[in-house]
């Protein structure tokens, strides 16, 4: 597997108040023909992330056709689980509605933040969304006592299968709290009530790793294939395979994409979103600064 980088396709600054810095965690949704809507999160001047989208022709990806002037999923009311930030994760198309699962941020005292998973639903093909509830669809529990974030969902034989980020612990390092999280599995029959029993799918492979983030899964030829981010010093993009979606073999050396020698993605690459279009496989991803430099596109080379 080898990815051919097509370069930076979307920057992180605009004239919109909600989009002051960063364009992170992209999600591709096909609108029609070769037109794609790319959901992403951007930060306002105070650093609070919210979700909007831009549209492109996948064959002319550097020409932005449209950008939302306002977020389509905005901050929750004061005191709710998503009152301090909302970051994009995954979308499910079900019964002519789009279910967008996202990570809600609220600030802490003993630790800097808490993550929970929210759900927003669209009935107009993704142009607008309404939140299912002021409460999260996945909250902390005995399986996930620290944080829950970045869900990716596939509906497979009527089962909603979710791979998500789960906190393992916080540790003080130099007097500051440091998070540790990896990827777990949950499932549901309806997308609202989720069963979690603590199944770990992607775990740390060395003492240097402390964050495994943002899974993206495709089922192909009897295998589940996952792309994700993992980090010690800086994020890289990893890859794993599984026959059942539960037991995974990390094959990071086969990911086929790494940092560039210079430029916008020379320090780190992260948050991959993989999708297929007209016989080609594409990857949207972020580079330096966790999306501060924008969103790039890569195409899988033909074997």
Going from the C-alpha of 298 to that of each of 65, 144, 286, the distances in angstroms are 19, 34, 11
For 39-51, how does the pLDDT look when each residue is reduced to its tens digit (9 = 90+)?
A: 999 999 999 999 9
Give the burial string for 192-217 (b: 16+ CB within 10 Å, else e).
eebebeebbbbebeeeeebbbbbbbb
pLDDT at 13 over 80: no
Do residues 257 and 298 make contact, with C-beta atoms less than 8 angstroms apart?
Answer: yes
For 88-112, how does the pLDDT look when each residue is reduced to its tens digit (9 = 90+)?
A: 999 999 999 999 999 999 999 999 9
d(CA 229, CA 234): 10
Phi-psi domain of 46 (left: phi exceeds 0; alpha: psi -120 through 50; beta: other): alpha
For 116-136, how does the pLDDT look when each residue is reduced to its tens digit (9 = 90+)?
A: 999 999 999 999 999 999 999
pLDDT at 200 over 90: yes
Percentage of the residues of the chain whose pLDDT score is greater than 70: 100
Quote the pLDDT of residue 14: 77
Q: What is the number of other CB atoms lying within 10 angstroms of the CB of residue 231?
A: 16
Percentage of the residues of the chain whose pLDDT score is greater than 90: 97
Write the burial class of residue 281 (CB in 10 Å: 0-12 exposed, 13-18 middle, 19+ buried).
Answer: middle
Quote the pLDDT of residue 42: 97
Quote the pLDDT of residue 259: 97
DSSP state of 235: E
Per-residue confidence band for 299, with pLDDT thresholds at 50, 70 and 90: very high
Domains in the chain with CATH codes: 3-300 (2.115.10.20)
d(CA 127, CA 26): 16
- 296 token code pair: 């790039």
d(CA 27, CA 88): 8
| Paired sense of beta strands 280-286 and 270-277, if any | antiparallel
Quote the pLDDT of residue 12: 74
**Mean pLDDT within 273-288:** 97
Quote the pLDDT of residue 302: 84
**Mean pLDDT within 271-281:** 97
- Tokens 């940092």 correspond to what residue? 259
3-state SS class at 268: coil
Quote the pLDDT of residue 125: 93
Do residues 106 and 113 make contact, with C-beta atoms less than 8 angstroms apart?
Answer: yes
**In whole angstroms, what separates CA 28 from the centre of its chain?**
11
Q: Which residues pair with 204 in a beta bridge?
A: none
For 133-149, how does the pLDDT look when each residue is reduced to its tens digit (9 = 90+)?
A: 999 999 999 999 999 99
Nearest CA-CA partner of 285 in 227, 240, 246, 245? 227
Percent helix, strand, coil in the chain, to 5, is 0, 55, 40
d(CA 190, CA 198): 20
pLDDT at 303 over 80: no
């Amino acid at each position: 597997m080898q990815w051919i980088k097509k370069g930076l396709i979307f920057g992180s600054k605009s004239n919109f108040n909600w989009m002051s810095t960063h364009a992170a965690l992209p999600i591709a949704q096909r609108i029609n023909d070769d037109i794609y809507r790319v959901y992403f999160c951007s930060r306002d001047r105070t650093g609070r992330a919210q979700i909007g989208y831009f549209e492109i022709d996948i064959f002319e990806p550097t020409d932005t056709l449209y950008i939302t002037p306002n977020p389509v999923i905005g901050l929750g009311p004061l005191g709710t689980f998503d009152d301090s930030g909302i970051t994009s994760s995954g979308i499910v198309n079900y019964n002519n509605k789009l279910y967008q699962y996202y990570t809600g941020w609220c600030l802490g005292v003993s630790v800097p933040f808490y993550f929970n998973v929210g759900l927003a639903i669209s009935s107009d093909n993704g142009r607008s969304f309404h939140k299912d509830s002021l409460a999260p669809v996945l909250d902390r529990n005995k399986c996930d006592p620290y944080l829950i974030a970045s869900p990716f969902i596939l509906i497979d034989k009527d089962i909603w299968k979710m791979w998500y980020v789960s906190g393992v612990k916080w540790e003080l390092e130099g007097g500051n709290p440091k998070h540790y999280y990896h990827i777990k599995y949950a499932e549901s029959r309806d997308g609202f009530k989720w069963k979690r029993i603590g199944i770990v799918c992607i775990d740390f492979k060395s003492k240097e790793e402390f964050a495994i983030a943002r899974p993206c899964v495709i089922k192909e030829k009897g295998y589940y294939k996952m792309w994700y981010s993992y980090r010690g010093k800086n994020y890289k993009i990893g890859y794993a395979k599984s026959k059942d979606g539960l037991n995974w073999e990390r094959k990071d050396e086969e990911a086929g994409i790494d940092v560039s020698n210079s430029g916008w993605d020379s320090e780190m690459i992260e948050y991959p979103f993989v999708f297929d279009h007209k016989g080609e496989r594409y990857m949207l991803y972020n580079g330096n600064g966790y999306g501060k430099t924008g969103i790039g596109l890569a195409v899988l080379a033909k074997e």
